[in-house]
Chain A
């Protein structure tokens, strides 16, 4: 069973991801801020993370960079409610960051799940 990290500050949204992935037999860990997520990585080893960008405290981008710096074996799929957001160039180059950017609301969870599996396998 693979472990997935859901990072989103909105409870309702986070919960919908948690529910979906649990239903589909993932082990789910969750965090509502980037700082919390980084703490969590000290004890948990998720293979993939769904990352919201606009967060209280550090942004999703910053979290990803920090996690990469700490050599965590983790892949990332970005999912944001800001349609004007684009994946920054430095992150696009990372093998562990999906070049696909998912816009909220996610209307097709299975698409998101497929991409998470793809990037997880690619970077493994």
Chain B
């Protein structure tokens, strides 16, 4: 019998049947331990069964038409709605969600196992969420605990600032904390189950995998510093990886944590750069810079300090200052004073002796206050050159004032001097010259003869006396003349001279010079010539420069003679100093040398070591003046007792006053 043949039921019967079915469904919906509810897309409860409403101490009627927010705490309502939306958006059911539910009327916590499925209209469009739930049973307890510990673990690892991850042996991500996701700039779901090759370049992923394999293969902890680039940013990370046996799967997993040290690295690099920058600044200073702690130990030591002491920075730091720089030991009390008063202390132009030479230095102590470290920096500057320059300046000034005086006085002195000397000359002529007729006549007129007068003069030493007047007068004239050399202006014009020629001429002149010959045998002095060939010509007053050389030969010869040097020798040296466009000449003897006190004053006018009457004390100062004032050059002397003296003359090719 076919269905068609069956008697068609009446409409009343069908309605009755449907009502009966609905009542049955209602009964099922409202009875039992299963909680049901049905919500629309906007979180509004459309239907709630008794079991469900009873949990919150309400009737279904009280709940229906109300939204989650109206029924529960904001937090809870949001959590529920979030699940709802997930189902609505995905169109997939979400089953067996274990969650806690706080009943609003009792504040009791109920653990529920909730499943949510999308509800659809007759066209298949999602129009709400159907949910059913039951209070969890004892068998579910372990699930809760698992969920709880999972939640706890999640909160813990998410609360950790450093990125943390777990990978399986296939290098796939199993667990990642929030920071890790953030660092990868991916959501957790996009990362889980995937490996580094999907997010990094092959080179970078290779490195990560290699280190993964290191810890899979052993129980060691691997620490590594690596770099990776994500979205154009390169970051430096320090990773720690170790493996463990996952009790859930029985497989080895890897846990890694990452510390982003990009900023620290950057700071380190900057710090290192700053440090090396500061060090090179300090090292490039010509000053000695030494840091000292309050206990007198060295904390800083720059390259100038290394150079001067020959002690390296590494050897010096930590040592007592008195040990590595004995000369500064006397300054330690000043260091304390500087630290306690917070003021810098200066000790300028302090002299000290080394290798029979006197040096000058400025010592300045700066307290270190701002850095919080008790200590000070000692700065030492060699100012020997400067002091020498000052000495020379003073000397020049002295000479100029002598020159000015002399220029004004020369005429006034020379005229009366001429009266004396010339009259004495006439007297000698009249008293001794037989050839002058007037003399003869005058003698005869007074009843005597020139012969008698001559004899008388001879016996009484009159002629000797007159000669003494003459000689003394000549000496005065010479002194006045020399003093005039100090007057700044020189009328004589410059011409070009080969400095080697001038040296040779002066040497020849020295060999024939009457004064020299009288006192020393200049020819017995050997002369070593170290001339630079084809040396550029110097614009100068040849005669004056020659006079300077002659003067040096004269003084040197005399000094060597006095000291009875067995093999007296002059070394004459010349070279062109291209950098300063000047010619350098040195005249060195192997005489007794010059004492420090003498050396300091050697160019001073009227300073002499010779006995009264032997020298005027003007020779070297005139030379000095000729070189420095007339020619814009430099003249210095170096000497050590017992090692001869070396005069150094530096002449610019063109004096500033010259026309090129």
Contacts and interface: CB of A to CB of B under 8 A. Distances in A.
A82 B410 contact: yes
B411 A54 contact: yes
Interface in B364-423: 407, 410-411, 413-423
Nearest to A84: B484
Contact of A107 (B410, B419, B474): B474
Interface in B402-456: 407, 410-411, 413-423, 425-426, 429-430, 433, 436-439
B418 A104 contact: yes
A19 B410 CA distance: 25
A86 interface: yes
Contacts of A19: 423, 426, 430
Nearest to B492: A86
A34 B76 CA distance: 133
A25 B436 CA distance: 8
B491 A86 contact: yes
Nearest to B483: A83
A24 B436 CA distance: 7
A81 interface: yes
B470 A107 contact: yes
B481 interface: yes
A39 interface: no
A103 interface: yes
Interface in B565-620: none
Contacts of A12: 416, 418-419, 423
B487 interface: yes
Interface residues of A, number: 25
Given A23-B429, A23-B439, A105-B477, A16 B410 contact: no
B436 A23 contact: yes
Contact of A81 (B418, B423, B430, B436): B418
A80 B477 CA distance: 12
A81 B414 contact: yes
A120 to B, nearest CB: 21
Given A20-B429, A22-B438, A25-B437, A104 B423 contact: no
A11 B494 CA distance: 39
B481 A83 contact: yes
Interface string B84-110: 000000000000000000000000000
Contacts of A95: none
B422 A109 contact: yes
A36 interface: no
A84 B473 contact: no
Contacts of B414: 81-83, 103-105
B347 to A, nearest CB: 47
A22 B420 CA distance: 18
B304 interface: no
Nearest to B424: A16
A93 B505 CA distance: 30
Contacts of B422: 13, 16-17, 20, 104-106, 109
B422 to A, nearest CB: 4
A22 B480 CA distance: 30
Interface in B462-519: 470, 473-474, 477, 480-481, 484, 487, 491
Interface string A5-48: 00000101101110110111100000000000000000000000
A84 B438 contact: no
Interface residues of B, number: 32
Contact of A109 (B420, B425, B439): B425
A107 B475 CA distance: 11
A34 B350 CA distance: 62
A105 B418 contact: yes
B417 A105 contact: yes
B421 A23 contact: no
Nearest to B425: A109
A13 B426 contact: no
Contacts of A13: 415, 418-419, 422
Contact of A103 (B413, B423, B477): B477
Contacts of A86: 491
Interface in B266-290: none
A78 B484 CA distance: 20
Contacts of A54: 411
A10 B439 contact: no
A116 to B, nearest CB: 15
A16 B426 contact: yes
B411 A82 contact: yes
Contact of B421 (A24, A25, A107): A107
Interface in A57-89: 80-84, 86
Contacts of B418: 10, 12-13, 16, 81, 104-106
A22 B487 CA distance: 38
B196 to A, nearest CB: 97
Interface in A84-101: 84, 86
A42 to B, nearest CB: 28
Contacts of A24: 436
Interface centre among B411, B416, B484 (most CB of A within 10 A): B411
B429 A10 contact: no
A23 B419 CA distance: 17
Nearest to B426: A19
Contacts of B411: 54, 80-82
Interface string B246-269: 000000000000000000000000
A115 to B, nearest CB: 16
Q: Please list the 4 inter-chain residue pairs (A to B) with the smallest Cβ-Cβ separation, ordered nearest first.
A: A12-B419, A81-B414, A16-B422, A104-B418
30 contacts: A10-B416, A12-B418, A12-B419, A13-B415, A13-B422, A16-B418, A16-B422, A16-B423, A16-B425, A20-B422, A20-B429, A23-B429, A23-B430, A23-B436, A24-B436, A80-B411, A81-B417, A81-B418, A83-B484, A104-B414, A104-B415, A104-B417, A105-B417, A105-B473, A105-B477, A106-B425, A107-B470, A107-B473, A107-B474, A109-B425
Given A20-B429, A107-B425, 16 more contacts: A12-B419, A16-B418, A16-B425, A16-B426, A19-B426, A24-B436, A81-B411, A81-B418, A86-B491, A103-B481, A104-B418, A104-B422, A105-B418, A105-B474, A106-B421, A109-B429
